[in-house]
Amino acid sequence: MTRQMTGAEMVVQALIDQGVDTVFGYPGGAVLPIYDAIFQQNHIKHVLVRHEQGAVHAAEGYARSTGKPGVCLVTSGPGATNAVTGLTDALLDSIPIIVLTGQVPTFMIGSDAFQEADTVGITRPCTKHNWLVKETNALASVLHEAFHVATSGRPGPVLVDIPKDVQFASGNYNAPQPSTSHYQPTVKGDITSITELVEAMEKAERPLFYTGGGVINSGPAASQLLRELVAATNFPITSTLMGLGAYPASGDNWLGMLGMHGLYEANMAMHGCDLMINIGARFDDRITGVISEFSPNSTKAHIDIDPSSINKVIRVDIPIVGDVGHVLEDLMKVWKSRGRKTNSAAVANWWSQIKEWQAIECLKFTQQGKVIKPQYALSRLEALTKNHDRYITTEVGQHQMWAAQYLGFEDPNRWMTSGGLGTMGYGFPASIGVQMGHPESLVINVAGEASWLMNMQELGTAMQYNLPVKQFILNNERLGMVRQWQELLHGERYSSSWSESLPDFVKLAEAFGAKGILCSDPDDLDEAIMEMLNHDGPVLFDCLVEKHENCFPMIPSGKAHNEMLLGDADTQGAIDAKGSVLV
């Protein structure tokens, strides 16, 4: 049905028709008509952030925890450029978000008008797709297509740039129809390749599932199928940072996270396996270590919805292009129809090898003395919150890796972290987005003090909307990961990696009207965490931790999976000149 309305009204109507309930944004001159339309309705809740970067990360947090696309609304010029980091973050982590930007009126475009920026030009490489809408009559179809593109195939961020005159003018609005555009990615995998993988699984002596964010993006059914497949085959499973929760951390076959700061057993299994089944991961450089030494004796299968992910970094033997959920369903069918075979004797041997690696207990630590070890802080946080309906976000750095190592995720969509881009300042606004999507749940942002300060202004947002997000800051007064690399790579010359002039976090919290808790004694930690959990409102938890703790295990730059450092004793000369030029 076609209806007449203004462009601004179309934006609101399209969001309603697409099932959007929350928009994160910040007003400005070029989006005032849309804000006026939002003011005059009650279907969509607008969350006023304190910086546009926060809006995008909040939308990411909302999207990752709910499985629905996140939506942002920002103004032209600086509003749009401030959104760029969030867009790039969402692109690298394949998160479906729709960013709507205001633009100067069409007749002023190109004149260097006030708050004009070439938004589609700037965001072209950091969106999955973007549009500049020059006619009100085209607006509805572009908005609906934006949702289609953001959520289909490999999800990602899209941007729609809407000039102010297009928002004011009237035009025809059409309700969403199933997309007829050319963009319809393949979701079913090629059955011949799937059968080839099943044959390899039947014969494999040292098989390993290596799963990633693609499982989570595919939806809860994919995680369920993965669990069934792992249980039925008894193959071990490891996951990337992005994929945590697809398989439960308490599951029998779980080896823990792999990669640069992954678990010893997971990395050794990657190195030693003879069949690697990559499900929705992309052989990121944090995962592979040095490529020439990466899992040298394995047949590699790769299931990915994005054909460009296959053979991009690692050459694979069995490529399967398709949606993880669809492919796993077919894989199960084929495997069952062929008699549910595995080489169980060999797999049992493989497991006994893995048990030896697990016996090393690479995450072991000793809490002694009066200084809190960050590992201890997270172990206590895990113990005291694991039975809650809990969502975790993180910032970026050592605390992020420790959170991935020491917290257990039993379900998908419970873990929101900036994996690909590594955006410091992601976690706090993301936690706000998560809490908006799950008002009754416990939402904790595990942070470092430096990362947290990057988007600290969002404490105002948390207060305004009474979002009881818990900011668990591991405060070592250092850029811990930078400091660690400087120790290992740059002769212990700690160039600019100190957090000088830190605020008093308790007073900072109080200045915003939030609660602040300071904890520096391991004996007080449990009680302090309980105080944080019991407070109904945002809490800034300043946990003073050991300042020079390093994050292990660690695969040094330029090294292979089986050359992990397990502790400080291993670090002498660990990274050679060739490795030091890598990131």
Partner 1 sequence: MSDLNLKKGTSAKSAYNLRPNFSDIVERHTLAVMVENEPGVLARVIGLFAGRGYNIESLTVAEVDHEGKLSRITIVTTGTPQVIEQIKAQLGRIVTVHDVHDLTVEGPSVERELAMFKVAGDGDKRVEALRLADIFRANVVDSTLKNFVFEITGAPEKIDAFADLMRPLGLVEVARTGVAALSRGI
Exactly one of 63, 87, 132, 436 binds partner 1 (CB under 8 A); that residue is 132
Determine which residue in the list 315, 333, 355, 547 makes contact with partner 1, applying CB under 8 A. 315
Beta bridge partners of 303: 279, 320
Query: Strands 275-279 and 254-257, how do they pair?
Result: unpaired
Annotated catalytic, 115? yes
Active-site entry in 108, 115, 203, 463: 115
Q: Is 436 helix (H, G, I), strand (E, B) or coil?
A: helix
Please report whether residue 310 would count as binding partner 1 according to CB under 8 A: yes
The catalytic residue among 24, 116, 164, 398 is 164
Nearer to partner 1, 142 or 244 (CB): 142
Does 317 sit near partner 1 (CB under 8 A)? yes
Q: Interface with partner 1 includes 202 (CB under 8 A)? A: no
- Closest distance between partner 1 and the C-beta of residue 369, in Å? 29
For helices 136-151 and 7-17, give the axis angle rounded to 10 degrees: 30
Residue 403 is encoded by which pair of tokens?
A: 């959170």
Catalytic residue of the set 9, 52, 145, 458? 52
Interaction between residue 563 and partner 1 (CB under 8 A): yes
Joined together, the tokens standing for residue 25 give 């944004």
Residue of 57, 282, 300, 483 that binds partner 1 (CB under 8 A): 300
Query: What token pair was written down for 447?
Result: 């942070």
Q: Which is nearer to partner 1, 65 or 342 (CB)?
A: 342
Q: Name which position in 109, 113, 120, 506 contacts partner 1 (CB under 8 A).
A: 120
Using the rule CB under 8 A, is 149 a contact of partner 1?
Answer: yes
- Residues whose CB falls within 8 Å of the CB of residue 403, separated by 6 or more in sequence, listed in order: 378, 392, 394, 417, 446
Please provide residue 144's backbone torsions phi and psi, each rounded to the nearest 5 degrees.
-65, -40
Strands (E) across 237-344 are located at 237-239, 254-257, 275-279, 299-304, 318-321
What residues from 352 to 381 belong to the interface with partner 1 (CB under 8 A)? Answer: 353, 356-357
Measured between alpha carbons, how far is residue 500 from residues 4, 371, 493 in Å?
Answer: 58, 20, 16
| The one segment of 6-14, 71-79, 172-180, 307-315 that binds partner 1 by CB under 8 A | 307-315
Query: Looking at beta carbons only, is 185 or 460 nearer to partner 1?
Result: 185
Q: How far apart are CA 405 and CA 254, in angstroms?
A: 12
101 binds partner 1 (CB under 8 A): no
198 binds partner 1 (CB under 8 A): no
- Cβ distance to partner 1 smaller for residue 149 or 226: 149
| Nearest-angstrom CA–CA distance, 413 and 488 | 34
- Residue span binding partner 1 (CB under 8 A) among the ranges 5-13, 122-130, 394-402, 465-473: 122-130
The smaller minimum CB distance to partner 1, of residues 312 and 386, is found at 312
Residue 36 interacting with partner 1 (CB under 8 A):
no
Among 29, 176, 248, 307, binds partner 1 (CB under 8 A): 307
Judged by CB under 8 A, the number of residues near partner 1 is: 39
**SS3 for 418?**
coil
- How many whole angstroms separate alpha carbon 158 and alpha carbon 127? 5
Site for partner 1 in 207-226 (CB under 8 A): none
- Considering only residues 395 to 424 of the shown chain, the ones binding partner 1 according to CB under 8 A are none
Answer yes or no: 164 catalytic.
yes
- Residues 479 and 67: their CA atoms lie apart, in Å, by 32
Output DSSP code: residue 502. -
The DSSP output letter for 234 is -
Whose Cβ is closer to partner 1: residue 292's or residue 496's? 292
Q: Is 125 a binder of partner 1 (CB under 8 A)?
A: yes
Distance CA 307, CA 324 (A): 13
Q: Where is 433: in which H helix or E strand?
A: helix 427-437
Planar angle of CA 97, 99, 103, nearest 5 degrees: 170
Which residues, numbered 520-539, are part of the site for partner 1 (CB under 8 A)? none
Distance CA 395, CA 452 (A): 7
Give the H or E element holding residue 580: helix 577-580
Task: With contacts defined by CB under 8 A, name the span among 242-250, 296-304, 381-389, 408-416 that binds partner 1.
Answer: 296-304
Which one, 98 or 564, has the nearer CB to partner 1? Answer: 564
Is 562 one of the binding residues for partner 1 (CB under 8 A)? yes
> Which residue reads 């397990």 in tokens?
566
Interface residue with partner 1, options 46, 261, 271, 478 (CB under 8 A): 271
Alpha helices in 74-209 (DSSP H): 78-82, 84-93, 119-123, 136-151, 164-168, 191-203
Among candidate residues 48, 122, 124, 94, the one with its CA nearest the CA of residue 418: 94
Of 81-89, 267-275, 481-489, 517-525: span binding partner 1 (CB under 8 A)? 267-275
User: Does residue 118 belong to the site contacting partner 1 (CB under 8 A)?
Assistant: no
What is the rounded CA–CA span in Å between residue 383 and residue 386? Answer: 6
Cα separation values, 387 from 378, 398, 543, Å: 15, 25, 22
Choice from 92, 316, 320, 447 touching partner 1 (CB under 8 A): 316
Q: Does 306 bind partner 1 (CB under 8 A)?
A: yes
Q: Should residue 564 be labelled a site residue for partner 1 when binding is judged by CB under 8 A?
A: yes
Contact criterion met (CB below 8 Å) for 25 and 55: yes
Catalytic residue list: 52, 114-115, 164, 481
Sites of contact with partner 1 (CB under 8 A): 120-121, 124-125, 128-129, 132, 149, 154, 182-183, 268, 271-272, 274-275, 292-293, 296-300, 306-308, 310-312, 314-317, 353, 356-357, 562-564
